[in-house]
Amino acid sequence: MTLRLMKILAILTSIGAYIVVLMGAIVTKTGAGQGCGTSWPICKGQLIPAYMSVDSVLEYSHRISSGIDGFLILFLTVWSWWVFRHNGRVKLLGFMSLFFVVVQGALGAVTVMYEGTFAEEWILSLHFGFALISFASVILLTIYLFQMKAGKAVEQREERKPGLVSKSMQYVVWGITAYCYIVVYTGALVRHSSSTMGCGTQWPGCSTLVPDLASHPGVQMFHRYAATLIGVLIVGLLIWVLRSYRERRDLVRGAWLALIMVILQGAAGMLTVVTGGQLVVELLHTTLIAILFAVLSFLCMQVGWPWKTQQPVEQVQMASSRG
């Protein structure tokens, strides 16, 4: 019963984490970041302002949703730590969920209270990136809780035959995930530097083909090149998984899902440009990158730590051939 209730809480927390990411994208797209002035966490110096514009409603809703999800993450983290106090993975995922939701909240407060004092574009980009890490960590914790039974991890057969992957595969998966996180920042920079329409409605062409962070078209092209490369890397990953780890159904499904997400992400990026940056399309773009990063993070969890000692690959291959 305890584990079942914890799973329900984890699902609700995951939904809350997604809403926080989505609300942040809405606030940025609509320019409602200063809807509550420079007061934080209250709005316009009041708990319930006498008058609230649309920008005020959006910004205050973002703060409220962040606060609620923060408390849910805190409760889930403490509860899971208590129940699975000897499980290092539960502790790590819980810590990352809580730590990064606090950090992204703090960055949001700094942006509001000290507008113009800091490099706002970069801080807002970090704000989104940290929210994404918290979201992915909550999702992974939720998935892992569903892999638990009677307080112990379920031993999935697809992870036991042959059970291990090569060091090279581990480093590749972690490297692609890290690079995807960097691409997220290039996309956030496009948004926060108002470079969404840097190339007008041209796609894939632009007034310049040279990536340049000093101009709107250059920022847009920088992001396009970075996003194209992540697609190529994921295609390569899928081919490798299908050739060498077809028996690992978790890796096969994860790699296929990553490819589907990166294709949809590219299509959403194209629609964002050709539709002139419509809000609904940009929210779809944000949703897809959040799912893609969560999928890649899941693959990292499944392949394990690259720096952790494991059974030699030769023994794994021998065991596979005997099976």
Contacts of 72 (CB under 8 A, 6+ apart): 9, 12, 13, 16
CA–CA separation, 51 vs 258, rounded Å?
45
What letter would DSSP give residue 304?
Answer: -
Select from 322, 280, 2, 1 the least CA-distant residue to 163. 322
155 is catalytic: no
33 within 8 A of 112, measured Cβ to Cβ: yes
Helices (runs of H) and strands (runs of E) counted in the chain: 9, 2
Query: CB of 295 within 8 A of CB of 257?
Result: yes
Distance CA 180, CA 186 (A): 10
User: How far apart are the C-alpha atoms of 108 and 112, rounded to whole Å?
Assistant: 6
Q: Give the rounded distance of the alpha carbon of 246 from its chain centre.
A: 26
Give the DSSP per-residue string, 153-210. E---GGGTSS----HHHHHHHHHHHHHHHHHHHHHHHHHHTT-TTTTTT-SS--S--S
Q: Looking at 59, 115, 120, 158, which residue is catalytic?
A: 59
Token pair 């129940």: residue: 83
Cα–Cα dist 182/125, whole Å: 11
- Active-site residues, by number, are 59
